[in-house]
Amino acid sequence: MQDDLLNMDCRELRDGIAAGRIKSITVAEAVFERIEQYEPIVGAYITTFKEHALAKAEEIDAQITAGKQVGQLAGVPIAVKDVLCTTFGATTCASKILENFHAPYNATVIEKLLSADAVIVGKTNMDEFAMGSSTENSGLKQTVNPWDTSRVPGGSSGGSTAAVAGRLCFAALGSDTGGSIRQPASFCGVVGLKPTYGRVSRFGLVAYGSSLDQIGPITRTVADSALMMNVIAGHDPADSTSVDEKQAPVCDYLEKLDEPVKQLKIAVVPQFNAGAESQVQTAIADAIDVYKNLGAEIIEIEMPHLDYAIAAYYIVATAEASSNLARYDGVHYGHRSENAEDYIEVYSKSRAEGFGKEVKRRIMLGTYALSSGYYDAYYLKALKVRSLIRSDFTKAFENCDCIMMPVSPTTAFKIGEKTDDPLKMYLSDVYTIAANLAGVPAVSIPCGFDENNLPIGLQILAPAFGEDRLLRIARMYEARTDWHKKKPAIV
Specify the 3-state DSSP secondary structure of 344: helix
Residues in CB range of 423: below 8 A, 6 or more apart: none
In a domain, 360, yes or no: no
The CA-CA-CA angle for residues 361, 365, 367, to 5°, reads 115
In a domain, 312, yes or no: no
Looking at the DSSP assignment, which residues form a beta bridge with residue 459? 405, 444
- CATH code for the domain in which residue 214 is found: 3.90.1300.10
User: Using CA atoms, how far apart are residues 224 and 12, in angstroms rounded to an integer?
Assistant: 10
Please report which helix (H) or strand (E) contains residue 218, including its range. strand 214-219
* Total count of domains within the chain: 1
- Closest C-alpha to 185, from 417, 354, 406: 406
In a domain, 272, yes or no: no
In a domain, 337, yes or no: no
Is this structure's pTM higher than 0.95? Answer: yes
List 24, 134, 138, 156, catalytic entry:
156
- Its domain, for residue 411, covers 2-266+399-485
User: Using CA atoms, how far apart are residues 39 and 346, in angstroms rounded to an integer?
Assistant: 36
Q: Are strands 119-124 and 77-81 parallel, antiparallel or unpaired?
A: parallel
DSSP code of residue 38 = H
In a domain, 17, yes or no: yes
Specify the 3-state DSSP secondary structure of 192: strand
Query: Is 180 part of the annotated catalytic residue set?
Result: yes
Specify the 3-state DSSP secondary structure of 475: helix
The CA-CA-CA angle for residues 350, 143, 45, to 5°, reads 80
Tens-digit pLDDT string for the chain (491 aa): 567 889 999 999 999 999 999 999 999 999 999 999 999 999 999 999 999 999 999 999 999 999 999 999 999 999 999 999 999 999 999 999 999 999 999 999 999 999 999 999 999 999 999 999 999 999 999 999 999 999 999 999 999 999 999 999 999 999 999 999 999 999 999 999 999 999 999 999 999 999 999 999 999 999 999 999 999 999 999 999 999 988 999 999 999 999 999 999 999 999 888 899 999 999 999 999 999 999 999 999 999 999 999 999 999 999 999 999 999 998 888 899 988 888 889 989 999 999 999 999 999 999 999 998 899 999 999 999 999 999 999 999 999 999 999 999 999 999 999 999 998 999 999 999 999 999 999 999 999 999 999 999 999 999 999 999 999 999 999 999 999 999 997 75
Residues in CB range of 228: below 8 A, 6 or more apart: 10, 73, 171, 173, 217, 219
List 160, 180, 186, 444, catalytic entry:
180
Specify the 3-state DSSP secondary structure of 194: strand
Residue 340: how many other CB atoms lie within 10 Å: 16
In a domain, 352, yes or no: no
Looking at the DSSP assignment, which residues form a beta bridge with residue 469? none
**Burial grade of 59 (CB within 10 A; 0-12, 13-18, 19 or more):** middle
DSSP code of residue 375 = I
Q: Are strands 297-300 and 265-268 parallel, antiparallel or unpaired?
A: parallel
Looking at the DSSP assignment, which residues form a beta bridge with residue 205? 84
Query: Is 115 part of the annotated catalytic residue set?
Result: no
- Closest C-alpha to 302, from 389, 432, 383: 389
Which contacts of 379-382 are long-range, i.e. CB under 8 A and separated by 24 or more positions? Answer: 379/315, 379/316, 379/319, 381/315, 382/311, 382/312, 382/315, 382/316, 382/319
DSSP string, 434-469: HHHHHT--EEEEEEEE-TTS-EEEEEEE-STT-HHH
In a domain, 103, yes or no: yes
Query: Is 186 part of the annotated catalytic residue set?
Result: no
pLDDT in tens, 9-32: 999 999 999 999 999 999 999 999
Say if CB 99 and CB 147 are below 8 A apart: no
List 56, 81, 112, 123, catalytic entry:
81
In a domain, 109, yes or no: yes
Please report which helix (H) or strand (E) contains residue 360, including its range. helix 357-370
Length of the chain counted residue by residue = 491
- Strand blocks (E) in 27-68: 45-48
User: Using CA atoms, how far apart are residues 71 and 208, in angstroms rounded to an integer?
Assistant: 31
Residues in CB range of 182: below 8 A, 6 or more apart: 176, 192, 193, 194, 407, 432, 442, 443, 444, 457, 459
